[in-house]
Chain A
Amino acid sequence: MSKLASLRNALSSRPSHQLRSAQVGSLWASSHRFLSTEAGTDGASSGASLFQSSPDGLVYGRITGRVQNMLGKNMLKTDLIHHLEGSDLSFHDVKFDYNRVYFLTGALVQFPSQSSFENGHKQLRLKGGLFNLQKIDRSEWDIKSSYDGKAVLMEGIPFNATQDDLERFLSGCNYDSTSFQSVTRTERSDSDPIRIVMVRFPTQLDASHAYTSKNRSFCLNAPINMRILQ
């Protein structure tokens, strides 16, 4: 119980959820042990079987960067899939994990089988060992939602910009006008806070069209940097 709980706490950032699922998991593990007739089943194998308990054999992993714990700012889902080539992943098998100020902290990956997970390990080593791959539980995967390339982050919006100004900035683009979300972020070295606004689009193509045409154009005299959130 403690081993599983400590593992989960180390990996995730949502302690309340994990505690609940850890307790459930531990009950399952203990009952499994009691029910098994083999005398030599130790905790390790029951832990492994717990991870693979999802019915369709899917294995979940989390990829983090080795340096500064961050992945590249410009990484796309397809880039990650390309890194893990041979693991038979599709676009929907990857979810990017952003923190509150939209830094990319990691990626959750759904592998179709254990062998593709091993292959993922091998590929990451081949590609220079820049990333770490850890196994996680399915619950983490289910909780996380993905932007799917349909959201764009606008950085550097002036603080006195209203929604009208933002809509004027994005004129000509097909966006979802109810979806503006604003966040303030402080850069690490100089403590000048900047305002960040996230906006969603109906399709991925709309988002990339907005990025192509509007990146570094001006909103109230300030040039705005844009990023597509995967």
Chain B
Amino acid sequence: MAAKSALLRSPTFLPKLLPSFPLRLISTSPPLSQEPQLEPSPSPPSPTPLPPNPSTGSPFYNENWRSPQPTAAAAASLLPVPGQSTAAGHMMAFSQILDLSGIMNLFADYVASQRWNDIKSVFEYWVRSLDESGKPNKPDVNLFNHYLRAQLMLGADSAELLDLVQAMQEFAVLPNAASYNLVFEAMVKELESLNNQQYESADSQSRKTALVEATTKLFDKMLAEGPLPDDGSFNLVVGLLIKAKHFDPALTYLDLVPKYGRTLNQGVYNGCIQFLLNSNKPDTATSFIDKCKASAENKNLVPTWNLCHHIAEVAFRSDNSKLAYQSLEYFARWIERGEKTRPQVQLSVDEGLAAAALGTASRTYDSKLLDGSWQILKRSLRQKKLPNPETYLMKINAYASLGQVKKAFETLNELEMAYRDAENTNPELFSPFTSLHPLVTACCRNGFSSLDAVYLELEKWSQAEKPYKSIAALNCVLLGCANIWDLDRAYETFQALEKLGVTPDIHSYNALLYAFGKHQKTSEACNVFEHLVSIGANPNATTYSLLVDAHLVNRDPKSALKVIDEMVEAGFMPTKQMLKKIRRRCSRQMDYDSDDKVQNLARNFNIRMGNEVRREILFNLQYSTNY
């Protein structure tokens, strides 16, 4: 408004100054109001920018690269200024005229002769020098890897190497897995030196954790974006984690190994299995071994002989039948390998180990392990020796616990053929009360039906072309009948012994005695005893103990003591269980004379009887109605 008035006013001035011009307003529209504002200074029209520097491939393009001399401005790049070593002086001059393949050959020579310093200085010089087309030399990834290797050998630590790897990007060279492997190698070296220190300080611990973290981060980056890790990377990283005892990341990476189709090397494989066993994870070990076997690259890996033994031991101790079977497979592979090498090496598995495997099979009901352990035992013995009788017994035990009664009896057949007539055989070897007891329990598992089935089978076998007439087997049936309180079947089986053409032995008489005694048919039991004595068979310790039991069932401690006197006369020693049973019967019947006799016997034979406190607990329960 003021402007308007100013403008209106101004023409009044003008006519005074200019004499003749009539002022006429040109525009018909009212003048626009203009706020007094500072107008932005108009930028001078910007010219279109130049295209960027076309020269790539060397950070030295940023500096003065046309002069071949290294200048202080080289500090702009991360590559250090090459030192002036007199010996390499002419090398540098020589390298100036080489191109990429020439330099590669040169470096190959240097690596073979381990001239790391030369590699380092020549490389640094070369990248600053100009090639034949007048541009700075551009290395490729292999050349750079040589340089990294030289740095590593000269003692650069992992941080420096990592910086150098990043410097590669300035050269527009992509690092590949081999470059990162060199970084990992530096980390491993550092960890080993930390591990070898005499004592652990807090510093070294924190440094170790820092190392481990750096490794895992780098590896994860590689998996996510960077070059895919190759065999070397996996081996180095997993090896490092194992040495630093960080097992969980190691396990995750191990899971990735089959996914990426990588091969583990032997040392790392051994180390993995070792730490899985030591850290008490047999199941993880099993799954790891399975995965390695499933992958085509890793299925030929076999741990060392001693490590196989360790695997077997851990498997037996923790009753892990799968791991045990895997260890047996490894043993088999070693044996095969040994037989193929020249000169031939005959490796063998200890029989004790096979016996332990049989024990594990019987406890875990694993028939595959049973077969496997028997096979490897046979293979190790190489038909030069028969397995021990105890091993046969363990096999019978295993089959019996699995319920495969027929196979158990076949094993009994083998055992008899091998050891029945051998010298030094313990007669108790075929006793159904002790050694063959598992077989007896297996026979009567389903009561009389399984017993009958077994009996019929044995009858068939005794009438086959190669008759198998085994008193031991029939004794098992006999004792089985006695165990299920079936006196009739037991007696019938006993009479059938003659029909089948076998003579009863002391074990048969014992079984019959047991059957009678259990049913409180004491007089018949004593008749059996007299019968066997009159025949001329020698009673053994079991006979006497069964006789004592028969009298005690009849509630007759005096007769039991008479039996003990006979036993002592015959040269046997009463056992603690026997005396305790008689003592119990005496105390229940308040027969103090017999009790005195028992105490005398215990003192004579130096048997520590102990008390009956635990048994009395049941009688000393305090019943009360208080809540």
Asked whether B306 is an interface residue with its Cβ less than 8 Å from the other chain, the reply is yes
> For the complex, what is the distance from the CA of A20 to the CA of B353, rounded to whole Å?
40
Residues B345 and A216 in contact, CB atoms below 8 Å apart: no
> For the complex, what is the distance from the CA of A67 to the CA of B309, rounded to whole Å?
12
Residues B353 and A74 in contact, CB atoms below 8 Å apart: yes
Residues A127 and B363 in contact, CB atoms below 8 Å apart: no
> For the complex, what is the distance from the CA of A127 to the CA of B347, rounded to whole Å?
5
Asked whether A78 is an interface residue with its Cβ less than 8 Å from the other chain, the reply is yes
Query: Which of B359, B428, B576 has a CB less than 8 Å from the CB of A215?
Result: B359
> For the complex, what is the distance from the CA of A76 to the CA of B377, rounded to whole Å?
13
> For the complex, what is the distance from the CA of A203 to the CA of B389, rounded to whole Å?
14
> If the complex has contacts A130-B305, A164-B610, are A76 and B350 also in contact, measured as CB distance less than 8 A?
yes
Asked whether B346 is an interface residue with its Cβ less than 8 Å from the other chain, the reply is yes
Asked whether A189 is an interface residue with its Cβ less than 8 Å from the other chain, the reply is yes
Residues A128 and B345 in contact, CB atoms below 8 Å apart: yes
Q: Which residue of A lies closest to B614 (CB)?
A: A164
Asked whether B493 is an interface residue with its Cβ less than 8 Å from the other chain, the reply is no
Asked whether A205 is an interface residue with its Cβ less than 8 Å from the other chain, the reply is yes
> For the complex, what is the distance from the CA of A204 to the CA of B607, rounded to whole Å?
22
> For the complex, what is the distance from the CA of A55 to the CA of B396, rounded to whole Å?
46
B341 vs chain A, min Cβ distance (A) = 10
Residues B576 and A79 in contact, CB atoms below 8 Å apart: no
Residues of chain B from 563 to 609 with CB closer than 8 A to chain A in the complex:
575-576, 606-608
Asked whether B251 is an interface residue with its Cβ less than 8 Å from the other chain, the reply is no
Residues A83 and B434 in contact, CB atoms below 8 Å apart: no
> For the complex, what is the distance from the CA of A49 to the CA of B605, rounded to whole Å?
50
> If the complex has contacts A128-B338, A216-B319, are A209 and B347 also in contact, measured as CB distance less than 8 A?
no
Residues A73 and B313 in contact, CB atoms below 8 Å apart: yes
Q: Which residue of A lies closest to B437 (CB)?
A: A213
> For the complex, what is the distance from the CA of A128 to the CA of B317, rounded to whole Å?
27
Of A67, A79, A213, chain B has the most CB atoms within 10 Å of the CB of A79
A206 vs chain B, min Cβ distance (A) = 8
> For the complex, what is the distance from the CA of A164 to the CA of B353, rounded to whole Å?
31
Taking CB atoms, residues of chain B closer than 8 Å to A206 are 434
> For the complex, what is the distance from the CA of A197 to the CA of B539, rounded to whole Å?
34
Taking CB atoms, residues of chain B closer than 8 Å to A73 are 309, 313, 352
Residues of chain B from 276 to 300 with CB closer than 8 A to chain A in the complex:
278
Of A76, A83, A178, chain B has the most CB atoms within 10 Å of the CB of A76
Residues of chain A from 60 to 77 with CB closer than 8 A to chain B in the complex:
67-68, 72-76
Q: Which residue of B lies closest to A164 (CB)?
A: B610
Asked whether A126 is an interface residue with its Cβ less than 8 Å from the other chain, the reply is yes
Taking CB atoms, residues of chain B closer than 8 Å to A213 are 397, 437-438
Residues of chain B from 380 to 412 with CB closer than 8 A to chain A in the complex:
381, 384-385, 388-390, 393-394, 397
> If the complex has contacts A128-B338, A128-B345, A216-B363, are A208 and B350 also in contact, measured as CB distance less than 8 A?
no
Residues A82 and B348 in contact, CB atoms below 8 Å apart: yes
Query: Which of A76, A83, A203 has a CB less than 8 Å from the CB of B428?
Result: A203
Residues A205 and B390 in contact, CB atoms below 8 Å apart: yes
Residues A82 and B319 in contact, CB atoms below 8 Å apart: no
* Mask of B421-434 contacts with A, CB within 8 angstroms, 1/0: 00000101100001
Asked whether B356 is an interface residue with its Cβ less than 8 Å from the other chain, the reply is yes
> For the complex, what is the distance from the CA of A44 to the CA of B346, rounded to whole Å?
35
Residues A82 and B381 in contact, CB atoms below 8 Å apart: yes
> If the complex has contacts A205-B390, A205-B435, A216-B363, are A82 and B347 also in contact, measured as CB distance less than 8 A?
no
Asked whether B355 is an interface residue with its Cβ less than 8 Å from the other chain, the reply is yes
Residues B351 and A78 in contact, CB atoms below 8 Å apart: yes
Residues A83 and B348 in contact, CB atoms below 8 Å apart: yes
* Mask of A189-230 contacts with B, CB within 8 angstroms, 1/0: 100000000000001111011011101100000000100100
Residues A74 and B426 in contact, CB atoms below 8 Å apart: no
Residues B306 and A128 in contact, CB atoms below 8 Å apart: no
Residues A205 and B426 in contact, CB atoms below 8 Å apart: yes
Residues B428 and A205 in contact, CB atoms below 8 Å apart: yes
> For the complex, what is the distance from the CA of A209 to the CA of B397, rounded to whole Å?
10
A contact face: mostly helix, strand, loop, or mixed: loop
Asked whether A85 is an interface residue with its Cβ less than 8 Å from the other chain, the reply is yes
* Mask of A171-182 contacts with B, CB within 8 angstroms, 1/0: 000100110000
* Mask of A8-42 contacts with B, CB within 8 angstroms, 1/0: 00000000000000000000000000000000000
* Mask of B479-492 contacts with A, CB within 8 angstroms, 1/0: 00000000000000
> For the complex, what is the distance from the CA of A216 to the CA of B437, rounded to whole Å?
18
Taking CB atoms, residues of chain B closer than 8 Å to A208 are 390, 393-394
> If the complex has contacts A130-B305, A212-B397, are A74 and B610 also in contact, measured as CB distance less than 8 A?
no
Taking CB atoms, residues of chain B closer than 8 Å to A225 are 316-317
Residues B350 and A68 in contact, CB atoms below 8 Å apart: no
Residues B576 and A128 in contact, CB atoms below 8 Å apart: no
> For the complex, what is the distance from the CA of A20 to the CA of B345, rounded to whole Å?
42
> For the complex, what is the distance from the CA of A79 to the CA of B351, rounded to whole Å?
6
> For the complex, what is the distance from the CA of A205 to the CA of B429, rounded to whole Å?
7
Residues A189 and B278 in contact, CB atoms below 8 Å apart: yes
> If the complex has contacts A72-B350, A208-B393, A216-B319, are A85 and B384 also in contact, measured as CB distance less than 8 A?
yes
Taking CB atoms, residues of chain A closer than 8 Å to B607 are 177
B280 vs chain A, min Cβ distance (A) = 9
Q: Which residue of B lies closest to A130 (CB)?
A: B305
> For the complex, what is the distance from the CA of A206 to the CA of B316, rounded to whole Å?
22
Residues B346 and A128 in contact, CB atoms below 8 Å apart: yes
Taking CB atoms, residues of chain A closer than 8 Å to B305 are 128, 130
> If the complex has contacts A126-B345, A212-B359, are A72 and B428 also in contact, measured as CB distance less than 8 A?
no
Of A83, A174, A208, chain B has the most CB atoms within 10 Å of the CB of A208
> For the complex, what is the distance from the CA of A127 to the CA of B344, rounded to whole Å?
9
Of A164, A204, A205, A225, chain B has the most CB atoms within 10 Å of the CB of A205
A76 vs chain B, min Cβ distance (A) = 4
Residues A203 and B426 in contact, CB atoms below 8 Å apart: yes
Residues A76 and B388 in contact, CB atoms below 8 Å apart: yes
Residues B317 and A79 in contact, CB atoms below 8 Å apart: no
> For the complex, what is the distance from the CA of A130 to the CA of B334, rounded to whole Å?
13
Residues A177 and B608 in contact, CB atoms below 8 Å apart: yes
B38 vs chain A, min Cβ distance (A) = 82
Taking CB atoms, residues of chain A closer than 8 Å to B316 are 225
Residues A209 and B351 in contact, CB atoms below 8 Å apart: no
> If the complex has contacts A130-B305, A177-B576, are A212 and B393 also in contact, measured as CB distance less than 8 A?
yes
Of B352, B359, B393, B576, chain A has the most CB atoms within 10 Å of the CB of B352
Residues B356 and A74 in contact, CB atoms below 8 Å apart: yes
> For the complex, what is the distance from the CA of A127 to the CA of B355, rounded to whole Å?
21
> For the complex, what is the distance from the CA of A92 to the CA of B106, rounded to whole Å?
69
B575 vs chain A, min Cβ distance (A) = 8
A79 vs chain B, min Cβ distance (A) = 5
Residues B397 and A79 in contact, CB atoms below 8 Å apart: no
Residues A78 and B385 in contact, CB atoms below 8 Å apart: yes
A-B contact pairs, 12 of them (CB 8 A): A67-B306, A73-B313, A78-B385, A78-B388, A82-B385, A177-B576, A203-B426, A205-B390, A206-B434, A212-B390, A216-B319, A228-B352
Additional A-B contact list (13), CB under 8 Å, known A127-B345, A127-B348, A211-B359: A72-B353, A74-B356, A76-B351, A126-B343, A128-B346, A129-B345, A174-B575, A204-B426, A209-B435, A212-B438, A213-B437, A215-B363, A216-B359
Residues of chain B having any CB pair with chain A under 8 Å: 278, 305-306, 309, 313, 316-317, 319, 338, 343-348, 350-353, 355-356, 359, 363, 381, 384-385, 388-390, 393-394, 397, 426, 428-429, 434-435, 437-438, 575-576, 606-608, 610
- Which 5 A-B residue pairs are closest in the complex by CB-CB distance? A74-B352, A208-B390, A74-B353, A76-B352, A79-B350
